[in-house]
Structure 1
């Protein structure tokens, strides 16, 4: 289910089924799915925690504007704190204004650009690296 949703949400850079399985079973990763009343998956998120820092691996939702992304991001932050992280990092496509706005409203600041980080059928797209301290 997540691999199908991954292809739907991120067609140019979707993870393969094997990559999804490796991610969700990796001991230093944590994943969550948002589901509706009937059990349909509305979105998912995952983090990697290494020492005192955590990275958002992915956040994807199929219903924009419903607060699902905000809830998934809040889950990422809480899980990172529970695992002992003092800060949270992420990358977001420079052309994804909606996600960038969500992250800024959630307290993230831009810390750099990763040129050509995302590979798409239209060519490489830069990523904005962002950071948020996680006070205990």
Structure 2
């Protein structure tokens, strides 16, 4: 399938620049604010140690700021020709303005630049907002991980979703 047949590359840098927000690599100095936002928005948040380990492992981790205010962040990794979205989050004060979609486009572009053929993610079935965002962005359900997430009453499944990525230099979509 080519870009002409329905999928064009996303220029996430242009999208983010249009918002006049600074998207930059996450560093140790960001972890206090990242941890605070994470604890605000999730019942079972990543720990500061999870983020620090991701940085030490060389994962692709980014923050979006408006001045000193942390608006959102994302963490992904590429292994061989497949990327995996590990965490994508938007601060409560910045939610509902399309930043999650823009961050997702950023992750897709970064993964394609690193020659990933697809991007995988997991989402809770109970997270209707995120699930809807992924579906609108072209992600397809490819599986279910039973008991993947901790939940108030035991465990919650994870829906596994995937999107084939567009190579930035050719416009070609990788086939499955």
Q: Offset of 1:121 from its aligned partner?
A: 2.5
TM-score (norm 1): 0.92
1:114 Cα offset (Å): 0.9
Rounded Cα–Cα distance in structure 2 between residues aligned with 1:104 and 1:17: 29
Cα distance, 1:135 vs structure 2: 2.3
Give matches, 1:1-136, under 5 Å: 1-12=33-44, 14-27=45-58, 29-36=59-66, 38-62=67-91, 63-136=94-167
Distance in structure 1 (CA, Å) of the matches to 2:41 and 2:88: 10
Task: Name the CA distance, whole Å, in 1 between partners of 2:136 and 2:123.
Answer: 14
Normalising by structure 2, report the TM-score: 0.72
**In structure 2, distance between residues paired with 1:24 and 1:74:** 21
RMSD (Å) for aligned C-alpha atoms: 1.2
TM-superposed CA distance for 1:88, in Å, is 0.4
What is the rounded CA distance, in whole Å, between the counterparts of 2:154 and 2:110 in structure 1?
34
Q: Which has the higher contact order (CA 8 A, sep 6+)?
A: 2
- Bigger radius of gyration among the two: 2
Deviations 1:72-100 (A, max 9, x none): 10010000011110100000011111111
- Check conservation: 1:110, 1:128, Cα contact below 8 A: yes
Is the 8 Å Cα contact of residues 34 and 68 (structure 1) preserved in structure 2? no
What runs of 5+ residues in structure 1 fail to find an aligned partner? none
Structure that is richer in strand per residue: 1
Query: Aligned-pair distance for 1:111?
Result: 0.6
- Aligned residue-pair number: 133
